[in-house]
Amino acid sequence: MPEHDFELYLSLLSRFLRLKAVQRDEIADELRDHLEARLEELAARGLSRDEAIKAALDEFGDAAELANHFTHVAHVRKRRIIMRYTFGTAAALAAAILITTAFWPESKQAPVRVMAVVEAQDPGKGAAPATKLPFPGGIGDNSDKAVVEAKLSRRLEEGFELVDVPLRDALESLSEQLGVDIIIDQSIVGGEGINLDVQVSVQIRRTKISGRAALDLVLEPAKLSYTFRDGLIMVTTPQNANQIQVYNVRDLVRQAHDSYGGSGTPMGGAPGMMGPGGPMGHSSMLSRGGSGGMMMAGMVAGGGAHAESSGGMGGMGGGMGGGNAIRETNSLAELIATTIDPASWDGEGGHGSIIQYQELLVVKNSQTVHGKIRALLEMMRETAQRPPGSTAGAPAGMNMPAAGPGAAPGAMPPGAPPRR
Amino acid sequence: MANFSPELMRGSLDLMVLSILATGSKYGYLLQQELRDASRGLVDLQAGTLYPLLHRLESDKLIRCKWEASTGRRRKWYELTEAGRKRLSAQAREWHAYAECIRALLAPVADALPRPV
């Protein structure tokens, strides 16, 4: 006759076991057998039933901790079995990924995997790009973040293989390999469309992929993304992974004003203005989303009309007339939204938003997009500094955002959300 | 477990469990009791330590399990595999050598101890 307290303990343990139902039941059966045998013995020794039950349970210790031990053992085993049997499959899969990504058309917004592969070809630079790289950006501006990014850029020593492992365990195993804590954003647990129990299968045996690529592969089936917080990685929705950054674009806006409106002031600002105005309040603004994101659609569509409303810097009233190929605008927000990852913005089904408020650009989007924006602004500043007519270097530079940061190791996006 | 420090025991728990299983297949509870008896009460492996350890040895293919229901109660029996037997004899040899070495090293201080182990 099963003891109520035993069943309570076992069901608690079961809940902590991140294993298949069959395995959970077997463990419960085995431990129940032990508990009952122990109870009999202790009772025979003269302990009261309550004392005996308590003593028997105490010997197993904390249910959560015990469950962790079992889970860990099971997953180590799983990894090993996979290694043994999927040698050929994994090698073929890895080769296929490499081939696919190597020839992925760049105009299609290089997907996360391409970025990871490109980065892997140039190890070391991804995490801490030298300042002289033509494509700065994506650099963590707080040291915690830089440390995590450096770890993500490292390649996994043991290869990476999981077969039908629940997402949580896959993350745990990856966390062990990376040496970085990975937590799940508790605010998304139980949310609509969030399935943290989705089974993950990844089989990369021969290729030592980067931690970032592995993380992307693990998160892909659940359509989740991640962000950095206090030296750890937080898994969350692509929407929450978006971070708000504020760009000071006074110089660029002034330039437009000066050239077109003819106020006569010399080019103000100069490159570097962006520095102080740059990323603000990184982690503290996490998942606070929504601040005015709705304006985005209006901005893209509004074109010239919007320019007037944004603080009177323009005066040009850029037109939409020329169709897709040729377009004139003096709205920096529109320029960015049409040039960089169009699908990531609100109006196009994404979750990003961009608002130009007087001389500030408030952008909510993924780390990837922020990196591209920084690079684009830099290029615009650089180009604007050259004398008119001197096109040398500028066209090449201006082409870069379209090519995507995959082309430049320095712009490796830290928080790229998985492609949907 | 006031007998040996956990640090001292940690490296040899596998070996102890394998050696108990060398005498025949056992289920967890029985194994625990036999280990206690064989060590004259000095090694009392807590259940919370024993079962994860058994599962690990099983995943290492050093032991294998069989579910037995003939007694009316579903019970999981463990037995040594061939690999487990080999591991046991190899490690047992190593441990004898190690124990000898430690004994020799500690000989000069043994007199100072009330009860050398």
**Closest-CA residue in chain A for B55?**
A73
Mark yes or no for CB contact B29/A59 under 8 Å.
no
A30 touches chain B (CB under 8 A): yes
> Which H or E element spans position B55?
helix B47-59
Mark yes or no for CB contact A60/B27 under 8 Å.
no
State the pLDDT confidence band at B115, using cuts at 50, 70 and 90.
Answer: low
Higher pLDDT, A171 or B22: B22
Measured in whole angstroms, the distance separating CA A269 from the mean position of its chain's CA atoms is: 32
Q: Which residues contact residue A149 at a Cβ distance below 8 angstroms, ignoring those fewer than 6 apart? A: A126, A127, A140, A228, A414
- How far apart are alpha carbons A9 and A17 in whole angstroms? 12
Higher pLDDT, A232 or A262: A232
DSSP 8-state class, residue A257? I
Write out the DSSP string of A218-234: HHTTTT-EEEEETTEEE
- How far apart are alpha carbons A44 and A39 in whole angstroms? 8
Given A29, A60, A65, which is nearest B47 (Cβ)?
A60
* pLDDT, position A123: 39
- How far apart are alpha carbons A337 and A350 in whole angstroms? 11
Mark yes or no for CB contact B47/A34 under 8 Å.
yes
* pLDDT, position A127: 39
- How far apart are alpha carbons A407 and A371 in whole angstroms? 13
Query: Is the whole-model pTM more than 0.95?
Result: no
- How far apart are alpha carbons A177 and A215 in whole angstroms? 11
**Closest-CA residue in chain A for B71?**
A33
> Of A229-233, A386-390, B28-32, which range is least confident?
A386-390
A70 touches chain B (CB under 8 A): yes
> Of A13-17, A298-302, B24-28, which range is least confident?
A298-302
Which domains occur in chain B, in start order? 6-109 (1.10.10.10)
The sign of the dihedral angle between the CA atoms of B86, B92, B94, B95 is: positive
- Is residue B62 within 8 A of residue B80, CB to CB? The reply is yes
- Is residue B14 within 8 A of residue B53, CB to CB? The reply is yes
> Which H or E element spans position B87?
helix B82-110
Report helix, strand or coil for A210: strand
A319 touches chain B (CB under 8 A): no
* pLDDT, position A271: 40
The sign of the dihedral angle between the CA atoms of A232, A233, A236, A242 is: positive
| pLDDT digits 0-9 by tens, A42-64 | 999 999 999 999 999 999 998 88
- Is residue A42 within 8 A of residue A55, CB to CB? The reply is yes
**Most confident of the ranges A91-105, A257-271, A275-289, A398-412:** A91-105
* pLDDT, position B21: 96
* pLDDT, position A112: 39
Q: Residues of chain B with pLDDT > 70: what percent? A: 91
Bridge partners, A234 (sequence order): A183, A227
What value does the mean pLDDT take over residues A280-305? 36
Q: Which residues of A touch B51 (CB under 8 A)?
A: 27, 30-31, 34, 66, 70
Mark yes or no for CB contact B47/A77 under 8 Å.
no
Average pLDDT score over chain A: 68
State the pLDDT confidence band at B8, using cuts at 50, 70 and 90.
Answer: confident
* pLDDT, position A32: 93
- How far apart are alpha carbons B10 and B59 in whole angstroms? 19
- Is residue A97 within 8 A of residue A113, CB to CB? The reply is yes
Mark yes or no for CB contact B73/A33 under 8 Å.
yes
Average pLDDT score over chain B: 89
How crowded is residue A70: how many other Cβ atoms within 10 Å of its Cβ?
Answer: 22
State the pLDDT confidence band at A84, using cuts at 50, 70 and 90.
Answer: low
- How far apart are alpha carbons A71 and A244 in whole angstroms? 38
Q: Between the CA of residue A28 and those of A11, A39, A237, what are the distances in Å?
A: 8, 16, 35
- How far apart are alpha carbons A383 and A397 in whole angstroms? 8
| pLDDT digits 0-9 by tens, A94-129 | 777 777 666 665 444 444 333 333 333 333 433 333
Mark yes or no for CB contact B28/A34 under 8 Å.
yes
Mark yes or no for CB contact A33/B47 under 8 Å.
no
> Of A79-83, A165-169, A257-261, which range is least confident?
A257-261
Q: Which residues contact residue B99 at a Cβ distance below 8 angstroms, ignoring those fewer than 6 apart? A: none
- Phi and psi at B20, nearest 5°, equal -70, -40
* Sole residue written with tokens 């006759």: A1
* pLDDT, position A81: 59
Mark yes or no for CB contact B28/A80 under 8 Å.
no
Q: Degrees (nearest 5) of the Cα angle A391, A395, A400?
A: 150
User: Residue A298 pLDDT more than 60?
Assistant: no
How crowded is residue A262: how many other Cβ atoms within 10 Å of its Cβ?
Answer: 9
Sheet of strand A243-248, all strands in order from the earlier edge strand to the far edge: A243-248, A360-365, A353-357
Instruction: Work out the minimum CA distance from B77 to partner chain A, whole angstroms.
Output: 9
A60 touches chain B (CB under 8 A): yes
Instruction: Work out the minimum CA distance from B107 to partner chain A, whole angstroms.
Output: 37
| pLDDT digits 0-9 by tens, A344-403 | 888 777 778 888 888 888 888 877 778 788 888 888 888 888 777 655 443 433 444 433
User: Residue A193 pLDDT more than 70?
Assistant: yes
Mark yes or no for CB contact B75/A33 under 8 Å.
yes
- How far apart are alpha carbons A137 and A146 in whole angstroms? 12
Complex ipTM, two decimals?
0.87
Interface of B with A (CB under 8 A): 27-29, 46-48, 51-52, 55-56, 59, 67, 73-76
* pLDDT, position A213: 84
* pLDDT, position A244: 82
* pLDDT, position A390: 58
Measured in whole angstroms, the distance separating CA A276 from the mean position of its chain's CA atoms is: 25
- Is residue A299 within 8 A of residue A337, CB to CB? The reply is yes
| Position A325, amino acid | A
A57 touches chain B (CB under 8 A): no
Mark yes or no for CB contact B52/A70 under 8 Å.
yes
Report helix, strand or coil for A361: strand
| Position A312, amino acid | G
Instruction: Work out the minimum CA distance from A120 to partner chain B, whole angstroms.
Output: 33
Instruction: Work out the minimum CA distance from B78 to partner chain A, whole angstroms.
Output: 11
Given B29, B55, B74, which is nearest A34 (Cβ)?
B29
Q: Which residues of B touch A64 (CB under 8 A)?
A: none
**Closest-CA residue in chain B for A78?**
B59
Q: Tell me which residue of A222, A257, A254 sits closest to A236, measured CA to CA.
A: A222
Given B27, B46, B48, which is nearest A33 (Cβ)?
B27
Report helix, strand or coil for A165: strand
Q: Which residues contact residue A88 at a Cβ distance below 8 angstroms, ignoring those fewer than 6 apart? A: none
* pLDDT, position A139: 38
Higher pLDDT, B71 or A268: B71
User: Residue B11 pLDDT more than 80?
Assistant: yes
